[in-house]
Amino acid sequence: LHGAETIAENFPPIQNDVFLKAIRGEDVPYTPVWIMRQAGRYLPEFRALRAENEFFRVCRTPELACEITLQPIRRLPLDAAIIFSDILVVPQAMGLEVIMVPGKGPVFPSPLLTPEEIDTRLVKPDVKKELSYVFQALTLTRHRLEGKVPLIGFSGAPWTLMSYMIEGGGSKTFAKSKKWLYQYPEASHKLLDMLSDIIIEYLSLQIQAGAQAVQVFDSWAGELSLDVWDKFGIPYLTKIGSQLRKLHPDTPLILFAKGASHGMKLMSEMEYNVLGVDWTANIREARALTRPKNICLQGNMDPAVLYADKSVIRGEVERILDEFGLGLHVANLGHGLHPEHNPEHVAAYIEAVHELSAAKKKQ
Ligand code: CP3
C-alpha cells in the first residue's frame, strides 16, 4: 500500500455524482443504477480470485476487497460502487465464529443458544480496531476509484444480525430467533441494543474512512409481523438513523428491509434518505408515502428477470421506470444478483435503465 492511499483525506474529486444527486432529489440526466451483489460469483474474474482466497480472507485483506469492489466498475457503467465485505463480520468481531461454506453459505459452528450467552460469550468489540480492515479497504478503494463513482458502505440491521447469530446460518422458519423475540423479549432487546450501538459506531467509522453513503440491510425484516418488527426492528433502525444523521448530516442513509413494504409508513418516519424496495412492493403507495418527505426509493426489479432475453429485460425496465416516475429513484434489483446470472444480461439491464430514463427525461 502506498502511504497516501491509507489516509482518509485528499480523495480524488467525484466525476459521476448522478447517484448522490438523485438521492437529494436534484435534477439528473438519467436514473442512476447500482446492483446488490454487483461484485460476486456471476463475474469470472471474481470466481478466479475467490478460487485462491477463502471468503473472509478476502474481506480481511484490503487489497483484495478493493480489487473485488472495482471489478464490476471496470466492466459495467454502474453509478455507484459498494465495498466488498459481509454483514457477518460484525458477529465475528463480537466473538462468534463464522465460516463460509461453499454451496451452502455462512455457518456459525456455535450459535447463541441461551440468553445467558449474551453475557458469557459476546464481547463488545473495539470496533475501530477489530474491523480496521473494513475501514482500510474503504479508504484504499475510495482512492483507487479515482472519483469515478461514489462508494457505498454497509452493515446488517440489528434483527438480521441477531437472527444469524441464533439460527447459526440461513433458515426457512426462523424458529429459533423468533422464539427469542416471543419467549425472551428482554434478552432480545438487550442483544438488539448492543448490536445497534456497534452498528452506529461501525457505520460512522465507515463514513470517516471514505464511504459516501451507507446502506443498512435488514434482509429478514419480512419474516416478522408488522407488530413484532415495530417492537424489535423499528426502534433500533430509528436509533441508528437518527444517531448517524446527527454525526454525519450530509451522508445519505439507505435502508433496505427485504420483504417489508408493509412497513413502508414506519420506514418513512425514520431519518433514512433512501428506502430500498423489492419486487413485492406497491410502488405507487410507496411513492405516496415517501415523495412528500423527499425520500428516494431504490429498487425494485426481480433479479429473475435477468434470466430472460434482453428484450424482456428492457420491457420490464421500461415498466418499472414508468411506475417510479422521474427523480428520487435509484434503480437496483429487489435483491442481490445470483451466481448464475449472465454478465451480458446484467449489462443490458444497466444500459436499459440509462437509455430509457434519459429518453423519458427528454420527453
Ligand atoms: O453487494 C455487494 O456486491 C457487496 C458485498 C456484499 C456481500 N454480502 C458479499 C458476499 C454485501 C453487501 C453482502 C451483504 C450480506 N451478506 C447480506 C445482506 C444482503 C442480502 O443478501 O440480503 C446477507 C444476508 C449476507 C450473508 C451472506 N453472505 C449470505 C447469506 C451469503 C451466502 C449467499 C450466497 O450468495 O452465497 C453470503 C456470501 C457472500 N457475501 C457472497 C458474496 C459475494 C458469495 C459467497 C462466495 O463468494 O463464496
CA distance 309 to 306: 8
Residue 288 Cα to ligand 1 middle (Å): 32
**Residue 183 sits in a domain of what CATH number?**
3.20.20.210
How many angstroms separate the alpha carbon of residue 84 from the centre of ligand 1? 9
Q: What is the mean pLDDT of residues 186-200?
A: 98
Cα pseudo-dihedral 290, 295, 296, 301, rounded to 10: -30
Nearest-CA residue for ligand 1 atom 24 is 219
Condensed to tens digits (0 to 9), the pLDDT of residues 82-138 reads 999 999 999 999 999 999 999 999 999 999 999 999 999 999 999 999 999 999 999
Q: Can you tell me which atom of ligand 1 is nearest the CA of 156?
A: 18
- Residue 182 has which C-alpha cell? 416471543
Structural domain count, the chain: 1
pLDDT digits (tens, 9 = 90+) for 55-75: 999 999 999 999 999 999 999
Taking 90 as the threshold, does the pLDDT of residue 330 lie above it?
yes
Residues 53, 30: Cα–Cα separation, whole Å: 38
Which of 12, 14, 4, 350 has the alpha carbon at shortest distance from 150?
Answer: 14
Q: Does residue 1 surpass a pLDDT of 80? A: no
- The pLDDT, as a whole number, for residue 152 is 99
Residue 154 CA, chain-centre distance (Å), reads 5
Q: Tell how far the Cα of 214 is from the centroid of ligand 1, in angstroms.
A: 16
Separation between Cα atoms, residue 20 and residue 307, nearest integer Å: 30
User: Counting Cβ atoms within 10 Å, is residue 59 exposed (0-12), middle (13-18) or buried (19+)?
Assistant: buried
287-318 pLDDT tens trace: 999 999 999 999 999 999 999 999 999 999 99
By most ligand atoms within 8 Å of CB, the mutation choice from 86, 99, 172, 338 for ligand 1 is: 86
pLDDT at 12 over 90: yes
**Ligand 1 pocket, residues with Cβ under 6 angstroms:** 36-41, 50, 55, 82, 84, 86-88, 100, 105-106, 154, 170, 217, 219, 258, 336
Beta-carbon contacts of 26 under 8 Å, excluding residues fewer than 6 positions away, are none
For 105, the domain range is: 3-362
What pLDDT score does 112 carry? 98
Which atom number of ligand 1 is nearest to the Cα of residue 102? 48
Is the pTM here over 0.80, yes or no?
Answer: yes
Beta carbons of 203 and 158 less than 8 angstroms apart: no
CB crowding 184-199: b at 16 or more within 10 Å, else e: eeebbbebbebbbbbb
Q: What is the distance in A from the centroid of ligand 1 to the CA of 10?
A: 31
3-class secondary structure, 84 = coil
The Cα–Cα gap between 274 and 330 comes to 9
Q: Which residues carry out catalysis?
A: 37, 41, 50, 86, 164
